[in-house]
Amino acid sequence: MPEVDTAHSEHFDVVIVGSGAAGLTLALRLADGARRIAVISKSALAEGSTWYAQGGISAVLDAEDSIEAHVADTLNAGAGLCDEPAVRFTVSRSREAIEWLIARGVPFTRAEPGEKAPGYAYHLNREGGHSHRRIIHAEDATGRAVETTLEALARNAEQITVFEHHMAVELIMTDDASEPRGRCRGVYVLDIEGDQVHTLSARHVVLATGGANLAYLYSSNPHAASGDGIAMAWRAGARVANMEFMQFHPTCLYHPEARSFLISEALRGEGALLKLADGSRFMPRHDARAELAPRDIVARAIDAEMKRTGEPHVWLDISHRDKAFIEKHFPAINRRCLELGLDMSREPLPVVPAAHYTCGGVITDLAGRTDIAGVFAIGECAFTGLHGANRMASNSLLECIVYASAAAEAIAADDACRAPDPGEPLPPWDESRVTDSDEEVVVAHNWQEIRRFMWDYVGIVRTTKRLERALHRVELLRREIHDYYGTFRVTPGLLELRNLAQVAELIIRSALERRESRGLHYTRDFPHTLPRAMHTVLSPPREDVPGVVYRPL
C-alpha cells in the first residue's frame, strides 16, 4: 500500500455527496447525534436542483384528502410500474415530513383569510395527476425556500462540515469476506478550486447527487445534474433500474436567454391552457384530463403538435386570470418573464418540453440502502419504486425528505450495532502516471455530442433504430473517454463527461430492453403496453461471468 498522504485525508462518520433537499435533510437528521458529517457540494451549497424547484411538495394535509387517494393518484401516474409498498411508505409519511420542514422554519404560503383551511391553514395547489389540492408551496419558489432554510441550519451545525466546490470522483471499495460486492470505506473528492484530490474515509457514504438530465441537450436542470452518483454506484457494483424513464417537463420557457427556465405545472393547475399559434387548444384531443393530464401525456402531446405543425414551440396561456392573481401566486415566474419582455397577464408564453427528472436510478430499499455495504442513495439518484414509469408532480421533494429521514434512522441503528470505526487510513489518489491535459476541447466536443444524440435518438418518442445508433455512438465515446481518463489529471469537466457517458449508456440499454410503450418510454416499434408491468434491472459486470456486462431481468 502506498504511503498515506495525511495532509489530504480525513475521516468522518458519514459522507454525504450532494447538498440538495435530500442531502441536507439527512445531514440535519444525523446532526442530532455525536457524529462527524461531511457534505460534499459540487458548487455553492445551495446551487442544485432543489433550488430551482418551483411547484411544491405533495402531502395529505386537507381533511377531504386521504392517503388512499394520494396513493391511487401516484399509482395511476406511474402507469402500473410503481412499487405500491414504496408509494404507501412515502405518502403515509408525507404529513410528518411537512411538519418537520415547518418546524425548521420553511415559509410555506398561508391560506387567504376565509379560505378553506387544509389542516395547517396553508394554501394548497393542485397539479397534473392529482385528484385533490395537496401541493403545499412557498409561492412559486418552494425549492428555494426549502434549500435556503436547510442550508442555514446546516452551516450552523457543529457536527456538519461543508465542502463547497468539491466533486466526488469515485467510491473507495475494499474487500470484505462477508459482503459479495465488497464494502465502501469512503470516497475520493476533487477540490475544484485547489486542484487536489482528497481521500475522505467514512463508515457510511450517502449518494444524494440528483438526476442525470444533462445527458440531454435541452434540460430544465442546473449544471450539476450529470448523473454522478448513479455512475459511481454502477462502477462500484450497484444495480440500477428503470433508467429508460426520463421525464420531460412539458413547459420549459422557449427563449434564447432562459433556455432552462421552467414554467411551473401549477399554472395549469390554476387554469392555464396550452394552445397552438392560431389560439386553439389541443390537449382535449389527446387526453380527457386535458392540461391536467400527467406530464408524460402532456409532453408527448406537445411534441406531436410541434412535429405536426412544424412550429418550434407551443403557447401556455393564463392571460385570462387577472394581473393581481398572477403576481400573488406566481411572483418569481412573473418577475423573470417580465425581465425577458414577456407579460403573461397579457399574452401567452412560448414553451417546449425539456429533460427534467430521472425516474430510475440506483436500486435501494425503503431506507436508502444500496447493493453495496456502506453505501446509501437518496433523492433523485435512487430507485425506490415510488415513481414507476412516470413521476407525478411534486412527489420528488417529498421523496427527498421522507427517504433522508428513513436513511438517518437506518444509519443510527447500524451505528448502534457496530463497534466504533477505527478510521484506518485509505490509500491516497494516485496521479503518478498522468499529466495535465492540453486538449480540453475534446471534453467539450464529446459533452455536446452525447447531449445532441441523446436528444435526437433517445428523446420523447423513440425507435429501435435510433436507440441502436445512439448505443453505437456512446460505446465509441466511452472508449475514447476511458483512454482520456487514464492519461490526464481529472477535471470537473472530464469527471462529468465520464459520468454522463455512463448514464447515457444505461438509459439507452434500458430503453432497448423495454419492448413496449409505458409511461415516459414511448417507442414507435412497440406502441402497445404489455399486460404485465416489469422493471428493467441492469447489473454491472462480474469477474466470475466473463463477457457479461448487462444482465436485464
Question: Domain containing 461 — which CATH number?
Answer: 1.20.58.100
Q: Do 86 and 421 touch, CB atoms closer than 8 A? A: no
Nearest-5° Cα angle at 224, 223 to 228: 135
Interval 43-86: pLDDT, tens = 998 887 887 777 799 999 998 899 999 999 999 999 999 999 99
CA–CA separation, 384 and 396 (whole Å): 11
Residue 412 lies in a domain: yes
Same-domain status, 182 and 223: yes
- The whole-number pLDDT of residue 546 equals 35
Residue of 37, 164, 38, 190 whose CA lies nearest to 498: 190
- The whole-number pLDDT of residue 488 equals 86
Global pTM?
Answer: 0.89
Say which amino acid occupies 506.
L
Same-domain status, 78 and 208: yes
Residues with Cβ within 8 Å of residue 543, at least 6 apart in sequence? none
Same-domain status, 62 and 157: yes
Residue 430 lies in a domain: no
Residues with Cβ within 8 Å of residue 479, at least 6 apart in sequence? none
Q: Which of 336, 353, 370 is the last residue of a domain?
A: 353
Q: Which of 335, 353, 371 is the last residue of a domain?
A: 353
Same-domain status, 52 and 170: yes
Interval 471-489: pLDDT, tens = 999 999 999 999 888 888 8
Domain containing 297 — which CATH number? Answer: 3.90.700.10
Residue 458 reports pLDDT greater than 70 = yes
- The whole-number pLDDT of residue 553 equals 31
Residue 449 lies in a domain: yes
Same-domain status, 308 and 367: no
How many structural domains is the chain composed of?
3
Same-domain status, 314 and 413: no
C-alpha cell at 223: 449544471
Same-domain status, 342 and 367: no
Interval 497-535: pLDDT, tens = 999 999 999 999 999 999 999 999 999 999 999 999 999
Same-domain status, 278 and 215: no
Same-domain status, 174 and 235: yes
Question: Residue range 491-497: average pLDDT?
Answer: 94
DSSP string of 56-98, one letter each residue: -EE---STT--HHHHHHHHHHHTTT-S-HHHHHHHHHTHHHHH
Same-domain status, 258 and 185: no
Residue 374 lies in a domain: yes
Q: Which of 353, 376, 391 is the last residue of a domain?
A: 353
CA distances in angstroms from 296 to 57, 203, 460, 522, listed in the order given: 19, 40, 9, 9
Res. 550 pLDDT band, cuts 50 70 90: very low
Residue 552 lies in a domain: no
Residues with Cβ within 8 Å of residue 102, at least 6 apart in sequence? 108, 120
- The whole-number pLDDT of residue 113 equals 73
Residue 370 lies in a domain: yes
Question: Residue range 522-551: average pLDDT?
Answer: 76
Which of the residue ranges 338-352, 384-398, 535-549 would you say has the lowest mean pLDDT?
A: 535-549
Q: How many Cα atoms sit within 13 Å of 405 on the Cβ side? A: 17
Residue 33 lies in a domain: yes
CA–CA separation, 549 and 553 (whole Å): 13
Same-domain status, 233 and 320: no
CA–CA separation, 111 and 378 (whole Å): 32
Residue 390 lies in a domain: yes
- The whole-number pLDDT of residue 418 equals 66
Q: What is the mean pLDDT of the chain?
A: 89
Same-domain status, 412 and 452: no
Domain that holds residue 259: 253-353
Q: Do 149 and 137 touch, CB atoms closer than 8 A? A: no
Residues carrying an active site annotation: 295
Residues with Cβ within 8 Å of residue 471, at least 6 apart in sequence? 505, 508, 509, 512
Give the H/E segment covering residue 28.
helix 21-30
